[in-house]
Amino acid sequence: MKLNYKKMGSGPALIVLHGLFGMLDNWQSIGRELSKDFEVWLVDQRNHGRSPHRDQHNYDAMADDLEAFIEEHALEGVVVIGHSMGGKTAMRLAQKSPELLLGIIVVDMGIKEYPIHHDTIVEALKDVPVESIDSRSEAEDYLAQNISEAGVRQFLLKNLHRKQDGGYEWRFNLKVLEREMNQIVDALPKEKVEIPVLFIRGKNSDYISDSDIPNLQELFVNSKIETLDTGHWVHAEKPKEVIRQIRSFIG
């Protein structure tokens, strides 16, 4: 599978992976800043953005996609940065093919299984009659019936794409993501990783709790955990601090 990407800058290679319902544009401003020192590859994961849609959506498949991407572009000494679902993809690749990586940076995601809490979002997305609406504002009106947070609505609406023959469509593969949600929230195998790992967690997020840290450090034996005063969207809330942490980790 050939993943869609945007390349910026030159220098050591950084690959950046978005989270569930996201796309590479979510990291564009941070990518632009990092491109002053690095060769930044912003990537759409399968079933997201402009990357191909497939029936399978799990971390082995996404890690394999990423491995193929690294080989396709002949990248060496790569650092992968992943937020949420993208962080789990990065961790799975580090378990399966550590020789491809210089290290990974995981933004607010642990290795454990998470309860499904995207039901409201999925149902809200399904309620939008994308084939018949006339505008993005109309789509937002539908989303607002179930999603009160304007920021979440705007995040989702970035994925709304006008078709050439009329109407709209979601860039993500909503049908498959809904069906595979158990795979998306599932735990990763308990396989040790020895390459350097930086976890950046949000202080006000419950994705990496204090009680999760011993298990993470046992499995990721060369890891460091930094906590920023944010929720789950660490890179959106504290972009300058995230950039500083990335630069410090890579040296």
> Of the CATH numbers 3.40.50.1820, 3.90.1520.10, 3.40.630.30, 1.20.1050.10, which one belongs to the domain with range 5-115+186-250?
3.40.50.1820
Tens-digit pLDDT profile for residues 61-102 = 999 999 999 999 999 999 999 999 999 999 999 999 999 999
Question: Could you tell me the residue ranges of all domains in the chain?
Answer: 5-115+186-250, 119-179
DSSP-derived pairing of the beta strands 101-107 and 197-202: parallel
Q: Please determine, for residue 117, whether its predicted confidence score (pLDDT) is greater than 80.
A: no
d(CA 106, CA 82) in angstroms, rounded, equals: 5
Q: Is 10 a catalytic residue?
A: no
Q: What is the pLDDT of residue 238?
A: 96
Q: Is 84 a catalytic residue?
A: yes
Q: What is the pLDDT of residue 167?
A: 83
Tens-digit pLDDT profile for residues 155-214 = 999 999 998 887 899 999 999 999 999 999 999 999 999 999 999 999 999 999 999 999
d(CA 154, CA 37) in angstroms, rounded, equals: 30
- Interior/surface letters 88-115, b for 16+ CB within 10 angstroms, e for the rest: bbbbbbbbbeeebbbbbbbbbbbbeebe
81 to 18, 42, 86, 106, 169: CA distances (angstroms): 9, 10, 8, 6, 28
Closest CA to 135 of 153, 150, 157: 157
Q: Please determine, for residue 122, whether its predicted confidence score (pLDDT) is greater than 90.
A: yes
> Taking a C-beta distance cutoff of 8 angstroms, is the pair 9, 75 a contact?
no
Catalytic residue among 57, 83, 84, 205: 84
d(CA 41, CA 3) in angstroms, rounded, equals: 11
Tens-digit pLDDT profile for residues 10-69 = 999 999 999 999 999 999 999 999 999 999 999 999 999 999 999 999 999 999 999 999
d(CA 86, CA 173) in angstroms, rounded, equals: 16
Q: What is the pLDDT of residue 244?
A: 97
Catalytic residue among 18, 57, 232, 235: 232
pTM comes to: 0.95
Mean pLDDT over 137-146 rounds to: 94
CA atoms within 13 A on the CB side of 248: 12
d(CA 157, CA 94) in angstroms, rounded, equals: 32
Q: What is the pLDDT of residue 119?
A: 82
Q: Please determine, for residue 141, whether its predicted confidence score (pLDDT) is greater than 90.
A: yes
- How many residues are present in the chain? 251
